[in-house]
Amino acid sequence: MASDDAIHAPPAAPPASPAESADGPLTRIGRYELIEKIGRGGMGVVYRGKDTVIGRPVAVKMLISDIDVSDETRQRFFREARSAGQLTHRNIITIYDFGEESGRAYIVMELLTGESLTNLLARGVKLPLEQQVEIMMRVSEGLAFAHSRGIVHRDVKPANLFVTTDGQVKVLDFGVARIASSKLTRSGLLVGTPDYMSPEQVMGLVVDQRSDVFSAGAVFYQLLTGRKPFTAKRLPDVLNRVRLEPPEAVTSAEAPPELTAIVMKALEKDPANRYQRTIEMLASLTRFLQAWDRQTRDIAVHAFERYADNAKLIEARGPRPEGAAESDPDAEVAANPLLRELPLFEERGPDVLKVVPFRRARIQEILATLDAQHDRLLGRPLQAMTGNPPAASAGVDRD
């Protein structure tokens, strides 16, 4: 099917040529105007389009006309539309329509703005841990909904996971999905992407939702570590690693042990040892994030207490000479510059530390700044704290 950026509108995409046909550029199919090409894969091409009846922007995915489209390919193409069309969920791309015109099969779906997880990972972006877990949870939630409707995706990979500009996560491309009762499941074909396939998928066995659990686990591993779990230079080596070898251990710097345990359970070779349902993995991720948030809140309370201590120590130093703020780094609480950038601080002051759901890394940055200032303030001689001149050091005469 189309590539990983096939169903989104880049924020600043350059102009692209419209669809091509034997008679020149194709500008319309069905009731949909084709505006520009925004993605292309081995068998499919996607255009930014417009529904001319209701004026809605859409993405139109079409089978490439210049390849030999087999009945199986066409059947799979429409199976994507039928599969995803049954799934109305905030974490699954919405299918509006599908059809065929002049031998061209097409699917119409929502037009997304943002980027695929593939692009995000390729840019080397290190997301906050909380955001990583949120992405894992939303992917698990979308897959769990599909599984509850008897649909297995079978090609879960970063290219088929999309993060929108407003932070939503969408599962894309159910092109190799199957209905649990479908006779097409017994074809024995190797369908999927090798780096993220489950062992049973590699062996050409019939798969169930536990295969999606494994594939999601492979994506989550890469999200945490920045590396694929079973990478190798040769395809046979990749497949052997998927079947037989564990991935490189996740370090404590990459993820907390509790989160690593969730991902590694999803990557168990034997399906019986994995999460049996995606909803179970979602429950484990939810429990982890709840515990993480409670611990982060405790750190925030400690930071608030440290803020109050520092404010009292500064006040105890007495009035400062005019211009002291420029010359004295401890003329005010050191975390103020960090906090002023945050919502509600001007209104609620440091109390905001106890109510705003900060990322833990930010709270730890604030606390480290406050702790360093606290040490400096306590390290000053008492006379300096009270505004009196400091006593002479030993061995030094005073006037």
Tens-place pLDDT, residues 244-284:
999 999 999 999 999 999 999 999 999 999 999 999 999 99
- What is the C-alpha separation between 370 and 372, in angstroms, rounded? 5
Q: Radius of gyration (Cα) for the chain, nearest Å? A: 28
Identify whether 195 is a catalytic site residue: no
* Residues ≥6 apart with Cβ < 8 Å to 163: 114, 115, 116, 117, 120, 135, 169
Instruction: Tell me which amino acid residue 18 is.
Output: P
pLDDT at 225 over 90: yes
pLDDT category at 384 given cuts 50, 70, 90 is: very low
**What are the Cα distances from residue 171, in Å, to 136, 160, 274?**
11, 6, 21
Read out DSSP for 254-304? Answer: TS-HHHHHHHHHHT-SSGGGS-SSHHHHHHHHHHHHHHHHHHHHHHHHHHH
Helices (H) and strands (E) in the chain, counts: 13, 13
pLDDT category at 380 given cuts 50, 70, 90 is: low
- Cβ contact 159:4 at 8 Å: yes
Q: Which residue has the higher pLDDT, 318 or 228?
A: 228
* Residues ≥6 apart with Cβ < 8 Å to 143: 153, 156, 171, 209, 212, 216, 278
In this structure, what is the dihedral angle of CA atoms 157, 158, 159, 164, given to the nearest 10 degrees? 130
Distance of alpha carbon 236 from the chain centroid: 29
Long-range residue pairs from 146-150, CB within 8 A, at least 24 positions apart, any chain: 146/87, 146/89, 146/92, 146/171, 146/174, 146/177, 147/209, 147/212, 147/277, 147/278, 147/279, 148/279, 149/86, 149/87, 150/179, 150/180, 150/181
In this structure, what is the dihedral angle of CA atoms 385, 387, 389, 392, given to the nearest 10 degrees? -10
Residue with tokens 């039928």: 82
Please name every residue paired with 171 in a beta bridge, in sequence order, or none if there are none. 92, 161
pLDDT category at 96 given cuts 50, 70, 90 is: very high
Mean pLDDT computed over every residue of the chain: 82
pLDDT category at 7 given cuts 50, 70, 90 is: low
For 110, the 3-state DSSP assignment is: strand
Torsion 370-372-375-379 (CA) sign: negative
Residue 40 backbone dihedrals phi, psi, to 5 degrees: -150, 140
- What is the C-alpha separation between 168 and 178, in angstroms, rounded? 25
CA-nearest of 326, 307, 300, 322 to 377 is: 307
Q: How many residues does the chain have?
A: 399
**What are the Cα distances from residue 369, in Å, to 49, 93, 306, 330, 363?**
51, 43, 10, 11, 10
* Residues ≥6 apart with Cβ < 8 Å to 336: none
- All structural domains of the chain: 19-110 (3.30.200.20), 114-289 (1.10.510.10), 290-386 (no CATH)
- Cβ contact 36:190 at 8 Å: no
- What is the C-alpha separation between 98 and 94, in angstroms, rounded? 12
pLDDT at 179 over 90: no
- What is the C-alpha separation between 385 and 169, in angstroms, rounded? 53
Q: Which residue has the higher pLDDT, 394 or 336?
A: 336
pLDDT of residue 158: 95
Of 4, 5, 155, 195, the active-site residue reads 155
pLDDT of residue 184: 41
Condensed to tens digits (0 to 9), the pLDDT of residues 328-347 reads 778 889 898 888 877 788 78
pTM score, whole prediction: 0.80
In this structure, what is the dihedral angle of CA atoms 145, 151, 157, 162, given to the nearest 10 degrees? -50
Q: Which residue has the higher pLDDT, 395 or 72?
A: 72
pLDDT of residue 174: 79
pLDDT of residue 20: 54
Q: Which element (helix H / strand E) includes 339?
A: helix 336-340
pLDDT of residue 99: 86
pLDDT at 4 over 50: no
Q: Region 369-386: what's the mean pLDDT?
A: 74
Residue with tokens 């690593």: 260
pLDDT of residue 399: 37
**What are the Cα distances from residue 12, in Å, to 314, 323, 397?**
49, 47, 71
